[in-house]
Amino acid sequence: MKISLKILILLFVAMMACTGTKKYFKAAEKLEKQGLVNEAAEFYLESLQRKPTNVDARIKLKEVGQKYVSFMSSEFFRNYNTGQMETSIENFEKLKNFTGRTEALSVTLNYPTAYEDDYKRAIEKYCEKNYVQGAELVKQKKYTESLTYLNNVNKYKPEYKKNKQFKITATCEPMYQNAITMIQGKNYSTALKSLTSIHAVTDSYKDSKELYELCAAQQAKSLLMFQPKTSQNPVLVDYLFNNFSQTASTSFKHIEVINNSPFVNLPGNDIEGNVDLIQAIRKASGADFFYVFDVLNKKSQVVGPTKANSKCYQRVTYRKNDTTVITEYKPTDYFQVKSKRVYSYDFKYKLVNALTNQIVTFQTLTINKFDEVEYNEFTYAPKGALDDYYPYNPQVTTPLAQYNPKNWRKLFTANKVVKTEQELETIANQESVKVFSQTLTNYVK
């Protein structure tokens, strides 16, 4: 029995106005009076879910819900006995879903227990029928059609007979055949996409793994890096060259670094505009890209320490007599100290497409790293504990102007040593490697 669209709209409006248990109960009563028992049962259930202590909703759910269950049981029985296996399975699952929700609210609704066994037999028959159809279509190489039936089996029994293997074949074989065709036509990039899709399903389909490696190798780009013949910082350049080479080799599977080339140093001052030179090196080395770099204007400087005179106040307490204790705040000199080390260099690089003679990207970046410290130190050795010192005189400073001196006191024990030049150089070089890595990611494809 179907509910009319008009009634649904009216009920929806009522629910939007108020979603309480009473509204659902009243809506269920209206549906029941119109003979819409199935729909009424769902609304009585919703009413009870919203307020499990609603006795009226509980009683009506037991009464009307049982009618609904009896209706669904009859539907299952009829469809099962007329061979409508898929529909009967859907009927029973709907029945189980509804009775499961009522059971959670302590409302038990009954249906013939024999239907549990019929449901299992229905699944068995349904899977067998779909499996036979799916397997036959796979044998006929109608892979797309076969997946519909194999997926039906997979929904209920993923490990049913050889369903899993048939599914893999139906999914992967069209992509495998496409990859073979593309490889034969030397269209390795398209073949690689198909093989990648196969690997998303399984990594052991026929010889797809070997074909993938073949296509990946064909797609690989070779990179030849140059150190400048003369540089202001040859040691640093050599260090970066080795790190760049290692990064390209380990982090980029599609890039092959040419390490056995006689062209380690760039002939002449620059490669730009020298087409004959580019093509000669390309033919001799087989490189797809050239990477040229240098380090200029390396600087390391320590600023400070600078000291600024300042005053703090020491709390001193002493007894004037047997009954009087006096607290005073004596001014004490201290220094506010700052120190900074700066390390920087200009990192100049250029990426050239050897085939087209074009400069893909070039840039000169200032790699600038620094470390600074800030601390306090007493002019003379302090007397007493740090807790006795204040950055202001509590006796003359208004309460609103006073603050917690905890952080100020910490500056007397803070770190006083800036990072070494070697430490900052390591950080700067890490950034240069990141720039190099990002260049390959963006442009070497």
Q: Which residue has the tokens 């196969």?
A: 198
Give the up-direction half-sphere exposure of residue 108: CA atoms within 13 A in the CB hemisphere: 1
Cis peptide before 382 (omega within 30 of 0): no
> Cα(246)–Cα(313) distance, rounded to whole angstroms?
58
Considering only CA atoms, which of 162, 155, 220 is closest in space to residue 188?
Answer: 220
Specify the pLDDT at position 322.
Answer: 82
Look at residue 1 in the predicted model and tell me its pLDDT: 42
| pLDDT (0 to 100) of residue 165 | 95
Exposure class string for 381-408: b at 16+ Cβ within 10 A, else e: ebeeeeebbbbbbeeeeeeeeeeebeeb
Tell me what pLDDT residue 240 has: 95
Which tokens hold the place of 432?
């240069």
The predicted pLDDT at position 6 comes to 54
Tell how far CA 44 is from the center of its chain. Answer: 43
- Dmax over Cα atoms in the chain, in whole Å? 112
Domains, the chain, in order of start with CATH, read: 5-112 (1.25.40), 127-219 (1.25.40), 234-443 (no CATH)
d(CA 158, CA 145): 18
The predicted pLDDT at position 8 comes to 54
φ, ψ of residue 398 in degrees (nearest 5): -60, 150
State if pTM tops 0.85: no
d(C-alpha 64, C-alpha 28), whole Å = 10
Chain Cα centroid distance, residue 355: 37
Q: Which residue has the tokens 């899709």?
A: 197
**Contact by Cβ (8 Å): 412, 377:** yes
pLDDT for 213: 84
What is the tens place of the pLDDT at every residue in 17-49? 445 899 999 999 999 999 999 999 999 999 999
Residues of the chain with pLDDT under 70: 1-19, 260-274
Other C-beta atoms lying within 10 Å of the C-beta of residue 302: 12
